[in-house]
Structure 1
Amino acid sequence: MYGEPALPPGFSVLPYVNPDAPRGGTIRLAEPGGFDSLKPWVLKGNAAWGVGVHVTETLMYRSLDEPFTLYGLLAASVETAADRSWVEFTLRPEARFSDGSPVTVDDVIWSFRTLGTQGHPRYRAAWAKVAGIEQTGDRSLRITFSESDRELPLLMGMRPVLKKAQWEGKDFAASSLEPPVGSGPYVVDEVDPGRSITFRRNSEYWGADLPVNKGRNNVDVIRYDYFADANAMFEAFKAGEVTIWRELSALKWTQEYDFPVIQRGDAVKSEIPNRRPSGIMGFVMNTRNPLFADWRVRQAMIEAFNFRFINATLNGGKDQRITSYFSNSALAMQPGPATGREAALLQPFAADLPPGTVDGYTLPDGSDRALDRAGLRRAIDLLEQAGWTVRDGILQDADGRPFAFEILLNQSGTAMRSASETQQIADIYVQALRNLGMQARITLLDSAQFVQRTNEFQFDMTWYERALSLSPGNEQLLYWGAAAADQPGSRNWMGMKSPAAEAVIAAMVNSQNTQEFTAAVRALDRILTAGRYVIPVGFSPVSRLAHTADLRYPDRTTPLYGDWPGFMPELWWQEAE
Structure 2
Amino acid sequence: MYGSPALPPDFVSLPYVNPDAPKGGSITLGNTGGFDSLNPYVRKGTAPWQLSFFTHESLMGRSWDEPFALYGLLAESVEVPPDRAWVEFTLRPEARFSDGTPVTVADVIFSYELLGTEGHPRYHGLWSQIDSIEQTGPRSVRMTFNTDNRELALLAGMRPVLSRAQWEGRDFANAPLADVPLGTGPYVVSDFEAGRHVTLTRDPDYWGKDVPFRRGSHNFDEIRLDFYGDASVLFEAFKAGEISALREFNVETWATQYDFPAVTRGDVVKSEIPHQKPSGMTGFVMNTRRAPFDDWRVREALIQAFNFEYINDTLTGGAQRRITSYFSNSVLAMRPGPAPKDVAAHLAPFADSLPPGTLEGYSLPQGDGSARNRKGIRRAMALLEQAGFTAQDGTMRDADGTPLAFSILLAKGSSENIAIAELYTQALTRLGIKAEVAAIDDAQYVARVNGFDFDMTTFRRALSLSPGTEQRFYWGSEAAAQEGSRNLMGVASPAVDAMIDAMLQARGQEDFVAATRALDRVLTAGRYVIPFWQYDAGLIAHIAEMKYPEPLPIYGDGPNFMPEVWWYAPR
The alignment's TM-score, normalised by the length of structure 2, stands at: 0.99
Report the residue type matching 2:27 in the other structure: I
TM superposition shift of 1:351: 0.7
Q: Which residue of structure 1 lines up, in the alignment, with residue 403 of structure 2?
A: 402
Q: Which residue of structure 1 lines up, in the alignment, with residue 569 of structure 2?
A: 575
Matches within 5 A, 1:28-427: 28-177=28-177, 178-413=179-414, 419=415, 421-427=416-422
> How many angstroms apart in 1 are the aligned matches of 2:399 and 2:175?
47
Q: Cα RMSD (Å) of the superposition?
A: 0.8
Does the CA contact (< 8 Å) of 2:63 and 2:71 recur in 1? yes
Report the residue type matching 1:170 in the other structure: R
Q: Which residue of structure 1 lines up, in the alignment, with residue 427 of structure 2?
A: 432
> How many angstroms apart in 2 are the aligned matches of 1:50 and 1:305?
33
Q: For the structure 1 residues 278 and 354, does the alpha-carbon distance in structure 2 shift closer, same or farther, using more than 3 Å as the test?
A: same
Q: Which residue of structure 2 lines up, in the alignment, with residue 478 of structure 1?
A: 473
Q: What stretches of structure 1 move > 6 A for 4+ residues in a row?
A: none
Report the residue type matching 2:554 in the other structure: L
> Which of 457, 460, 465 is matched with 1:462 structurally?
457
TM superposition shift of 1:341: 2.1
Report the residue type matching 2:515 in the other structure: A
> How many angstroms apart in 2 are the aligned matches of 1:280 and 1:518?
18
> How many angstroms apart in 2 are the aligned matches of 1:49 and 1:127?
23
Does the CA contact (< 8 Å) of 2:35 and 2:46 recur in 1? yes
Q: Which residue of structure 1 lines up, in the alignment, with residue 494 of structure 2?
A: 499
Q: Which residue of structure 1 lines up, in the alignment, with residue 558 of structure 2?
A: 564
> Which of 521, 532, 536 is matched with 1:541 structurally?
536
> How many angstroms apart in 1 are the aligned matches of 2:444 and 2:382?
37
> How many angstroms apart in 1 are the aligned matches of 2:355 and 2:424?
24
Report the residue type matching 1:259 in the other structure: F
Q: Give the SS at the match of 2:352.
A: helix
Cα deviation digits, residues 284-322 of structure 1 (max 9, x gap): 110111111111110000000010111111101001100
Report the residue type matching 2:393 in the other structure: D
Report the residue type matching 1:235 in the other structure: E
TM superposition shift of 1:544: 0.9
Q: Which residue of structure 2 lines up, in the alignment, with residue 416 of structure 1?
A: none
Q: Give the SS at the match of 2:243.
A: coil
Does the CA contact (< 8 Å) of 2:50 and 2:559 recur in 1? no
Does the CA contact (< 8 Å) of 1:27 and 1:569 recur in 2? no
Report the residue type matching 1:7 in the other structure: L
Report the residue type matching 2:512 in the other structure: F
Q: Give the SS at the match of 1:426.
A: helix
TM superposition shift of 1:118: 0.8
After superposing the two structures, state which structure 1 stretch, 174-183 or 147-156, moved more.
174-183
TM superposition shift of 1:50: 2.4
> Which of 505, 518, 529 is matched with 2:524 structurally?
529
TM superposition shift of 1:256: 1.1
TM superposition shift of 1:73: 0.3
After superposing the two structures, state which structure 1 stretch, 175-184 or 226-235, moved more.
175-184
Cα deviation digits, residues 344-372 of structure 1 (max 9, x gap): 11010011011100111000011210111
> How many angstroms apart in 1 are the aligned matches of 2:175 and 2:301?
41
TM superposition shift of 1:237: 0.6
Cα deviation digits, residues 484-505 of structure 1 (max 9, x gap): 1111100111111000000010
Does the CA contact (< 8 Å) of 2:58 and 2:160 recur in 1? yes
Cα deviation digits, residues 228-280 of structure 1 (max 9, x gap): 00011111111111000111111111111121211221111111101111110
Q: Gaps spanning 5+ residues in structure 1: where?
A: 414-418
TM superposition shift of 1:175: 4.3
Does the CA contact (< 8 Å) of 1:70 and 1:154 recur in 2? yes
Q: Give the SS at the match of 1:538.
A: coil
> How many angstroms apart in 2 are the aligned matches of 1:472 and 1:313?
34
> How many angstroms apart in 1 are the aligned matches of 2:226 and 2:246?
12
Matched residue count: 570
Report the residue type matching 1:572 in the other structure: W
Q: Give the SS at the match of 2:424.
A: helix
After superposing the two structures, state which structure 1 stretch, 167-176 or 242-251, moved more.
167-176
> How many angstroms apart in 1 are the aligned matches of 2:483 and 2:453?
10
Q: Give the SS at the match of 2:137.
A: coil
Report the residue type matching 2:483 in the other structure: P
Q: Which residue of structure 1 lines up, in the alignment, with residue 506 of structure 2?
A: 511
Does the CA contact (< 8 Å) of 2:65 and 2:554 recur in 1? yes
Report the residue type matching 2:481 in the other structure: D
Report the residue type matching 2:473 in the other structure: L
- Name the % identity: 58
> How many angstroms apart in 1 are the aligned matches of 2:424 and 2:98?
51
Does the CA contact (< 8 Å) of 2:94 and 2:102 recur in 1? yes
The alignment's TM-score, normalised by the length of structure 1, stands at: 0.98
After superposing the two structures, state which structure 1 stretch, 65-74 or 334-343, moved more.
334-343
Q: For the structure 1 residues 198 and 566, does the alpha-carbon distance in structure 2 shift closer, same or farther, using more than 3 Å as the test?
A: same
Report the residue type matching 1:47 in the other structure: A
> How many angstroms apart in 1 are the aligned matches of 2:37 and 2:535?
32
TM superposition shift of 1:30: 0.3
After superposing the two structures, state which structure 1 stretch, 39-48 or 526-535, moved more.
39-48
> How many angstroms apart in 1 are the aligned matches of 2:200 and 2:463?
28
Q: Give the SS at the match of 1:557.
A: coil
